[in-house]
Structure 1
Amino acid sequence: MSVYVGNLSYEVTSEDLSDVFSEYGTIKRIHVPTDRETGRMRGFAFVEMEQESEEAAAIEALDGAEWMDRVIRVNPAKPRTDKPRYNRR
């Protein structure tokens, strides 16, 4: 399972997320998507933790919390769906 973290400040780094989520358990992976054209963070991230119970504790504690002047959303991540990719011209 993975945790979706949304409504993040564009200034947030993987290290910032690690600092916050490590309070709830061992982090396996953090993915911070960036815009392909600008390289800028897209305002959300995914955090995968060692145990599902750790992810549940992080969701319970952090969903709706104010962090870096934003109210963040923390939910179980939905499985990725394969959308058709269109060639952009």
Structure 2
Amino acid sequence: MTMAMLQRRANVRLPPEVNRVLYIRNLPYKITAEEMYDIFGKYGAIRQIRVGNTAETRGTAFVVYEDIFDAKNACDHLSGFNVCNRYLVVLYYQSNKAFKRIDVDKKMEDLDKLKTKYNLNDEKK
């Protein structure tokens, strides 16, 4: 990359949700990591790919790029890309949203424990 290209990149202001980690949904269940590298590697150097392998995570993957601009380029071009008659959903990974659901589940679990402890139920008398 030339110095002029690097300077232009330094002046580009990316939206706050853009980051190096992409979250991919609607993948074919039988897709391999090698196939993922073939698809996503066209947009830049990849640090890591994690393909979901449990009942809850099948059809999803995380792709971590070395460079944030490569991740943005991949997200822009691969969202809606057809792989084995499935259209990919490519999003930027946002940890605050991912953990928010876990927090809600934990709070509901804690609430249920308190209800049991104090012998409360949801029925109105």
TM-score with structure 1 setting the length: 0.82
Aligned sequence identity (%): 29
Alpha carbons 1:49, 1:55 under 8 Å: kept: yes
Tell me if 1:54 matches 2:70: yes
Per the alignment, residue 23 of structure 2 pairs with 4
Per the alignment, residue 84 of structure 2 pairs with 68
Work out which of the two has the higher radius of gyration on C-alpha atoms and give 1 or 2: 2
Name the aligned partner's letter for residue 50 of structure 2: H
Larger % of strand: which?
A: 1
Cα deviation, residue 55, structure 1: 0.3
**What is the alpha-carbon distance in structure 2 between the residues aligned to residue 3 and residue 13 of structure 1?**
17
What root-mean-square deviation, in Å, do the aligned CA atoms of Structure 1 and Structure 2 show?
A: 1.8
SS in 1 for 2:48: strand
Per the alignment, residue 42 of structure 2 pairs with 23
Cα deviation, residue 75, structure 1: 1.1
Which contiguous aligned blocks of 4+ residues in structure 1 show a shift greater than 4 angstroms?
none
Question: Structure 2: which 5+ runs fail to align?
Answer: 1-19, 110-125
What is the count of residue pairs matched by the alignment?
A: 82
Higher relative contact order (CA closer than 8 Å, sequence separation 6+): 1
Cα deviation, residue 34, structure 1: 1.5
**What is the alpha-carbon distance in structure 1 between the residues aligned to residue 70 and residue 33 of structure 2?**
18
Name the aligned partner's letter for residue 37 of structure 2: S
Relative to structure 1, the CA distance from residue 12 to residue 41 in structure 2 (aligned partners, 3 Å threshold; closer, same or farther) is farther
**What is the alpha-carbon distance in structure 2 between the residues aligned to residue 13 and residue 41 of structure 1?**
14
Q: Write the deviation string for residues 9-40 of structure 1: whole angstroms up to 9, x where unpaired.
A: 001111111011110000000011211xx6x9
TM-score with structure 2 setting the length: 0.60
**What is the alpha-carbon distance in structure 2 between the residues aligned to residue 12 and residue 26 of structure 1?**
20
